[in-house]
Amino acid sequence: MKNRYEGLLVLDTQGKEDTVKEVIERLEKDFEKEGAAVEQVQKLEKREFSYAAGHLSSGYFVNFVFQAEPTVVDKLRAKLKLDPEIYRQHFQKLRPKKVAKEG
């Protein structure tokens, strides 16, 4: 059974701000290759971190809303962990989309 998920990714764009669009398009294709049906891609722009937790002080935030089997999320986590352009990732299960009743 497919569930709805939200995947918040923080991209490491330091020194390569001009390639953000290509990276997001590649990531969307990666989601689809793994079997996820992407509903929405929210580009939340570059933001400063409230505290530096590593070598970066800011990152480009992108939020993916998608439907997938639970095993797909594990595959995506493993794949994105190896991607040098992904600084942080967080996945969360969402409530099912409410269907408006006609009447």
Q: Tell me whether residue 27 is in a domain.
A: yes
- Between 98 and 48, name the one with better pLDDT: 48
pLDDT on residue 36? 95
What is the Cα–Cα distance from 90 to 67, expressed in whole angstroms? 15
Give the domain range for residue 15. Answer: 3-94
Residue 102 lies in a domain: no
Is the confidence at residue 51, as pLDDT, over 90? no
CATH, residue 25: 3.30.70.60
Tally the domains of the chain: 1
Q: Mapping DSSP to helix (H, G, I), strand (E, B) and coil, where does residue 92 land?
A: strand
How far, in Å, CA of 79 to CA of 9, rounded? 13
Instruction: Examine residue 83 and state whether it is found in any structural domain, yes or no.
Output: yes
| In a domain? residue 100 | no
Residue 99 lies in a domain: no
In a domain, 103, yes or no: no
CA distance 24 to 21: 5
| Half-sphere exposure at residue 60, Cβ-oriented, CA atoms within 13 angstroms | 18
Report yes or no on 21 lying in a domain.
yes
Helices (runs of H) and strands (runs of E) counted in the chain: 2, 4
Whether 72 and 38 have beta carbons less than 8 Å apart is answered as no
- Residue 101 is assigned to a structural domain of this protein: no
pLDDT digits over 65-101, tens only? Answer: 999 999 999 999 999 999 999 999 999 999 887 766 6
Q: What are phi and psi of 13, to 5 degrees?
A: -110, 15
Tell me the whole-structure pTM to 2 decimals.
0.86
